[in-house]
């Protein structure tokens, strides 16, 4: 049985960390080594130093874009045979003028370690590539903000 509360809590912490550029909390959400895939590049993060450098760059882009809010608009997941979790989240990053700076979907591959989920891979795509997985936690993420 999947611990949905732990799954929801991971992304509540993750979203909150992005909103306030909290590198320490973001690091706690990942299991190293991990990979980040965007349409432009693939990054293999083998150490905390690698992770810090990558997220400092990401946070700098968000700060320069004057992001004022980050919203999850959809979140679904599925459990694999080995207990790993695949999750698809649709994101909207909102700027200070309340305009969408960017929206996209991201596929997360998660593992559970000591009753907490950790991200081991993220693949970001255009929003049109979003997939509806069997289990929906959108309402829980939206309600618990």
User: Which among 40, 81, 85 has a CA at the least distance from the CA of 61?
Assistant: 40
Tell me the average pLDDT across 119-124.
98
d(CA 56, CA 52) in angstroms, rounded, equals: 6
The residues spanned by each domain of the chain are 4-143
Against a cut of 0.85, is the pTM above it? Answer: yes
The answer on pLDDT for 130 being more than 70 is: yes
The pLDDT score that the predictor gives to residue 145 is: 47
Q: How far lies 25's CA from each of 2, 22, 30, in Å?
A: 23, 6, 9
Tens of pLDDT, residues 61-89: 999 999 999 999 999 999 987 788 999 99
- What mean pLDDT value characterizes the chain? 93
> Residue 143 — pLDDT band, cuts 50, 70, 90?
low
User: Which among 76, 71, 62, 78 has a CA at the least distance from the CA of 21?
Assistant: 62
CB 119 within 8 A of CB 104: no
Considering the segment(s) 4-143 as one domain, its CATH architecture is Roll (3.10)
């Amino acid at each position: 049985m999947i611990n949905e509360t732990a799954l929801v809590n991971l992304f509540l912490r993750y979203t909150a960390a992005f909103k306030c550029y909290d590198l320490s909390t973001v690091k706690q959400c990942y299991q190293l080594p991990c990979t980040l895939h965007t349409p432009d590049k693939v990054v293999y993060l083998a150490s905390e130093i690698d992770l810090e450098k990558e997220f400092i760059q990401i946070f700098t882009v968000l700060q320069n874009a004057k992001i004022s809010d980050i919203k999850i608009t959809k979140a679904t997941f599925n459990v694999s045979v080995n207990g790993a979790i695949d999750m698809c989240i649709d994101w909207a990053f909102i700027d200070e003028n309340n305009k969408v700076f960017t929206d996209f979907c991201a596929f997360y591959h998660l593992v559970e370690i000591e009753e907490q989920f950790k991200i081991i891979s993220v693949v970001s795509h255009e929003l049109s590539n979003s997939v509806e997985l069997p289990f929906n936690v959108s309402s829980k993420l939206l309600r618990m903000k």
